[in-house]
Structure 1
Amino acid sequence: MKITVIGTGAIGGNLAAKLAAAGHDVQVANARGREAVRAEVLESGARVADLADAVQGRNVIVLSIPFGVAGKLAELFASVPEETVVIDTSNYYPGMLSEPIEAVDNGQVESVYTAELLGRPVVKAWNAALAETQRTKGVPAGTPGRIAIPVAGDSEKAKKVAMQLVDDTGFDPYDAGALADSWRQQPNSPAYCTELSLDELPTALAAADRVKDVAVRDSLPERFAALPDDPTVDDVVEMNRAAHR
């Protein structure tokens, strides 16, 4: 597939490298320009493109940008064909990684808000796994204990494409329902960054509680402060799991 990844931070960089290594034609673009793309992102064969050119003639566009800024790309996406699959990987952390957003604080689902800003449908994927999990723990399909990643969206066709790409990055894709249901994989639900298998993930999604999960998300600074110095990915995963026991 022809794929563009917009945003080359930890998540976007991981995805660009993994999707290129899986044999896809991958372009990367960064709003800060070509020079902002780290060299290691390109080592698996991804190519740098200017933002305006990167969205044309592609099958899939992955948005790995800070939550709440998708509206800045709305004009750019106005020329993107309807059949192009757009995947959102962002998460909302008010006061930590984002300014508070009233609509989301009042209950609007994160990726529904993103779709409105962008002016087109999106699929939610890859948001519910830590960057280090994505970088180091992908394994071939059929490997026992393979970590599962939820994928939510309103178009079955688009969701199927996203699920195949999740598989290509080394994780079991799980159909998590419509985009309006993707609150179940938002921070800090039981399914969020807890490294669950395909058998375990449905129970975690069903256990999501919007009030409790927001409280767990907002307690993140205090919970991180209780971790050892220089915590490992396993330390963070265990912290997330413990919050729901």
Structure 2
Amino acid sequence: MEQSKVVAITGASSGIGEATARRLAADGHRVFLGARRTERLAALTAEIAAAGGGAAYQRLDVTDAADVRSFVAAARARYGRLDVLVNNAGVMPLSPLEALLTHEWDRMIDVNLRGVLYGIAAALPVMRAQGGGHVVNVASVGAYEVSPTAAVYCATKFAVRAVSEGLRQESAGDIRVTLVSPGVTESELADSISNPVARKAMESYRAVALPASTIADAIAYALSQPPEVDVNEIVVRPAASAQ
């Protein structure tokens, strides 16, 4: 088996984050889980521990830079190092721009983009000091294409793609960087859509969806590569969907 790594995961209380925690713990990695819903984190941590895995958690709001620093510091204090940060937390309250839901635009920018930047800012000094690490940013196929009602959401994911590529270029040799971009995946993302037009469109769009475990498998693949291999971008879509 590959060497056990310490992996911090944001947005770990459901969806891709939860599935990634289960998969990586089953692979023998020690996972440190962050999200706002601590009751879910506690249950997931207990389940992983009962199966013989290593897991711990801390409440995390990725829109708070100090909170993200505390999360990374706690992971390091718990396990002695931080090998991988999975920036997974995200929201997707889609709406047409003309709906002018500026508070939802702000929320997407704060969680989807600033949350990733805060994660990098917290983890990078730790990884540099220990001589290496791996940052995995979860984006979306929305990082490559734009669709109606998704302009701001896609803008945040395009930005995460750009940040990931910039970090890769600046970190060649010690920090590996992977961008994982899921197509339609089973998650709670669509639950945040308040606009009726966007919600109705998403119902048909999500008719064919991947299980979250599929994205967890992609992340596990990137982590499993030898140190000299950096898997930069993975796009995963349902085979039965053209989207």
Scaled by the length of structure 2, what TM-score is found?
0.48
Scaled by the length of structure 1, what TM-score is found?
0.48
Higher relative contact order (CA 8 A, sep 6+): 2
